[in-house]
Every structure is written in structure tokens, then in C-alpha cells.
Structure 1
Amino acid sequence: MVNQQDPRVLRTRQLIREAFRELLRKKDFDSITINDIAQRATINRATFYAHYEDKYALLEEITEQAFRDRIPDQVLNARDFTDEICDGLIMMTYHYIMDFYQIYRMDSKPIASLVDEKIKQLLQQSIENILRRGNLHFMEDRQTKIISAMTASAIYGAAHAWLTVGENDRTDLLVGIVRPYVMNGLDLPKAP
């Protein structure tokens, strides 16, 4: 078993991620091979496989890491789902999607779907964490999960649609449309 805290392991994983990101900027995902990644990272294929099952696992890790790196501290530490927290999640999600699709070539619909699902899942987890930390800890777990899933879907769907049909430089309009919809939908129950 590989020691995940070993500096050499961390450095090798970083080389692999950087090589993969560079390749995604130049080639579509489907045409990138493990050989391409290994050559760019100056490692051999066996070393790649010692760290990742395949390029899909690598894509998932990069997607998750980039998303988690963007979560503002105010969202990470939030105890209530306020207008400001909602705005932060909308903006973060929109910018993440915009950057991801503009920087990385997501020409493959199955791969774009995989990335989209991962982002929605991470957004849902972030919202669940806020609801659980806040005044809604009394809600049943399934109720929290359902509310989080609906809220994440609304935010993600709107942010994704704005990328294709919105005025990309007018994110204030996006927030102005989405926040009232989300916050009215989150007319959450009060603690007993």
C-alpha cells in the first residue's frame, strides 16, 4: 500500500495531475491516453497505475479538488443558509463551471456528464453540511438530503444554463434570478 503522506507520493500525484490538466487544455478527454499522461509527468505507466485506477479516477479527483479549493471560507463555516451563502454558492458554481468548460476541452458528452454529476454531488454535500451545522439539525437525515439535492440542482442547473444562454459578464442578473427562487423554496421548517 502506498503511503499517501509520503512527500514522494504527493509529488508524483501532483506531477500526474498537472500533466493531465495540461493535456486537457490541448486534447479532448477521449483522446488522452495513460501513456500521454505518464510521458508528460515523466513517470512510467506502472507508476500512474500505482496512484490511479484510470484516467476517469484522475478526472474525478481533479474535479473534486478544484471544486473544494473554490469553496469560500464563509460557506465552509456557515451555520445557516442565508442570502449571502446562497449568493456565494451560485457565484462559485457558475465560475467553476465556466472555468472548467473554457479551460478544459469537454468535447465528450459522457465525460461532461460525469463532471457535471460530480459537481452537483459536491454542491449537495456542501449544502447538507450547512443545514446540519445550523438550526436544522433536528430534521430527519432523508429530509436534509432531499432539500440539499433540490437546492443543489436548482443552483447548478441555473449556473449551467447561464453559461449557455445568459449574459456571462452579468452574474448579478444570475444571482438576482436564482437566489429568490432558491430562498423561497427553502422556506425551511422552524425548530420545535
Structure 2
Amino acid sequence: MITSRQMVIEQGLDYLRDVGSDQLCNICIANGGSCCKGCRNLSFKSGCRVRNTSCTAWLCGFLRYFLYEVDLLEEWHSFWEQVPGRDYREDYTPDYFEFQKTLTKRDLRFLSHELAEDLNILSKNYPEQGYMFVLRERIDSNLDLLFDGECPDKRAIIKSNLGALSSEFHRFHKALETYRQQLEQTSLV
């Protein structure tokens, strides 16, 4: 099917809104971090002036971790791999292009709320400048290694590292466990 560049951006933004990305972004922004920091398209007090495919597709470490834990990261990457012309903060995507996969809407705001609460608590417990940024980047780096690595032994170590990095996400892990149990029960029916 043929789709438009704008439709893909809107579908990506809707998907992120449904999973509750704003709740996670608000924590980072409140702690001095922002994916958009330094971007020429960022306007003071109004946000992004020029949404593009590259920035919509890109995920920070916390969002990537969230989608990884709810088993949606593969779907997200698969969706954006079919979009041509993405580059760092630039968009060379044609106005219209061939497109096959779509994103399935899921309301996961209750889960992202719990992760945001955990991150908020961490930001108060560790108010040092840069703590949240370092945590986000370490999670992101480990996710890079996890998906780039082929060796099962290394994957086990990386998963263990992710477990250690997320060990203080108590509320999120509890809600995630409940969510997974509910998914399992509905798949048995």
C-alpha cells in the first residue's frame, strides 16, 4: 500500500502517546535531559516546530527499555525499517512511499506511569547532576549490545546488566508482572 510521510509520523506519535511516552519524557525534561536539546527545530515553550520521521522513530534509553520489556521493541523497529530517508535529526523521506507494516495501538499508559514514578523517585533519591542521563545512556548502551550481539553467553550477561540497571524500578516491575500474567491468561482463553 502507499502511505504518506505525514501519516507515518502521525501513526508513530499516536503509538508513543498510547504507550505513555510523555510520562517518561516529562521526568527526563524535569531533570535537565531532553532528546531534542540542541536541535534547531526546537522552539522555546512550544516544542518541536518540524516533526520528522527520524526523530519520531528514535527512542531514548528509557523508552527503548519500556518497549523491550513489554515485547514491542521489535514491532517498533520493524515499522520504521520500512521508512526510507531517515537520518540523524534529518528527514529525506519522500512525501509518498510503499508501506506494508502498521503499528498496533495499545494503551499501556498505566505501565509507563509506574516506570515514570520509579524514575521520579530515583531522581529525588539521586539528585546528583547527570544521574538520570547516565542511567538512561547505560540502559540504551546495553540494549544496543543486546540486539547487536549473537553470542548467547554475552546476551545473558547483558540481560543481567539490564536487570541491575533497572533493579530500582520496583513499581514498574510489579505492574509489568501483572500485565504479563493478564496477557498469558488471555492467550489461554
TM-score range, shorter chain: 0.3 to 0.5
Query: Which structure has more helix as a fraction of its residues?
Result: 1
Who wins on radius of gyration, i.e. which is larger? Answer: 1
TM-score, length-scaled by structure 2? 0.33
TM-score, length-scaled by structure 1? 0.32
